A = this chain, B = another copy of it.
């Protein structure tokens, strides 16, 4: 038997991919032969042959007189399909996440979003492990209480108060990570087809996370003071979004801080539009002084705050949190119990011990100083390559930079990867692919001279 012709195969691939990402769910009717032929610019006979083959494979069912349907019993596991314009594989946010997690320790990773392991508070984690080994049995063996450790929630209450957010311990839910916190919120507040606003640029795993919820992402251009207000207002009008997901402490990837005026104005617009805002506060402990927090201004009315300790304490000890108004927190808690049967008690005990041992505050003071030095060094080295910062952040690990002479960041990243350097090209952060000339650098991962040598070569290449 001969294989399919390329045209027939193209029709088959198109249908398979729509089944896989569930835009053509089981039981749904396919376009008529004529409509399909027109849509894919092929002949009707090509479509007839493709449909016939898919029927033979049991993927489609033909109902004479009624058309072709996706077989109800077709096993079609969900395939994550990020929304928006088509992307090259190396700009796919999921690919970037996987690559960073999988990367050989020998690779240099100025594109990754975390500190090197020896910058983290390992001494505190080790001490906490030894303490737990001597600790009580329930802590080591039993399920956690539903909202998680009361003692850690009490510590978080004080931490939130530091940036002006007033919350009671009952308004906090411990989660397995910052990402898990956002995922629970998406499960409770979003339905497939809903629209979610994000910043353009924003943290690239937001794209991937939200694609798992089958929602549509709309990016609002980000300015050094927060989202662009006219664009934000226009997006509210045009798309009726359910949720806006942002970082308001230190913004990822830009390192920007919101201005009080933008925060106030965004909250007013959200109030009018019935919008829920999620503020991911993952870089809290990197700030030199507290930036405006939406959750503080709003009093946790329509703002939900999330965070974790992955960036400062350990990414191996998984523990995050959600702060929300009481009735929303109860619904988040229900979904948390249903889908995880309680949280990570051991991780919460380790985090509590480590951040309250007296050394953590000192450790973070050193991290902030070290980041300030590295940031300055990194800016000098990047300037020598003609790479300029969009903003000079006063805290955090990121520099969001423009490459010289309209260089394409994706091509530069591709060439650098061949030389063992993992970079983070701008369009991975941009829902609308508006950041082709940008790149995010993690100053804590730029210590090795080879980073700049490889980058120099990659920028030179045609």
Please give the residue numbers on chain A whose beta carbons come within 8 Å of chain B beta carbons, in ascending order: 22, 25-26, 58, 71-75, 77-80, 94, 97-98, 101-102, 105, 114, 117-118, 120, 122, 125-127, 129-130, 132-134, 137-146, 176-180, 183, 187-189, 191-192, 205, 208-209, 211-212, 240, 242, 273-276, 302, 310, 314-318, 328, 331-332, 334-335, 337-347, 349-350
Contacts and interface: CB of A to CB of B under 8 A. Distances in A.
5 contacts: A75-B189, A80-B334, A125-B140, A177-B341, A344-B347
A117 B138 contact: yes
Contacts of A129: 129-130, 132-133, 140
Contacts of A189: 75, 77-78
Contacts of A242: 26, 73
Contact of A344 (B126, B127, B302, B344): B344
A334 to B, nearest CB: 5
Nearest to A79: B331
B334 A141 contact: no
Contact of A347 (B102, B212, B347): B347
B140 A314 contact: yes
Nearest to A333: B98
A56 to B, nearest CB: 14
B183 A144 contact: no
A146 B191 contact: no
Given A137-B122, A338-B94, A347-B347, A187 B130 contact: no
A392 to B, nearest CB: 28
Contacts of A22: 191
Nearest to A343: B318
B188 A77 contact: yes
A116 B275 CA distance: 45
A188 B78 CA distance: 5
A337 B94 contact: yes
Contact of A141 (B122, B187, B302): B122
Given A77-B328, A130-B129, A133-B126, A316 B212 contact: no
B139 A183 contact: no
Contact of A73 (B58, B138, B275): B275
Contacts of A188: 77-78
Contacts of A332: 77
A114 to B, nearest CB: 7
Which interface residue of A141, A334, A349 has the most chain B CB atoms within 10 A? Answer: A141
Contacts of A94: 334, 337-338
Contacts of A134: 126
A254 to B, nearest CB: 20
A78 B184 CA distance: 11
A340 B179 contact: yes
A316 to B, nearest CB: 4
A120 B141 contact: yes
A21 B176 CA distance: 25
Contacts of A97: 337-338, 341
Q: Which of A139, A316, A343 has the most CB of B within 10 A?
A: A316
A313 to B, nearest CB: 8
A126 B189 CA distance: 40
Nearest to A346: B316
A157 B177 CA distance: 28
A444 B211 CA distance: 44
Q: Which of A127, A209, A350 has the most CB of B within 10 A?
A: A209
A345 B331 contact: no
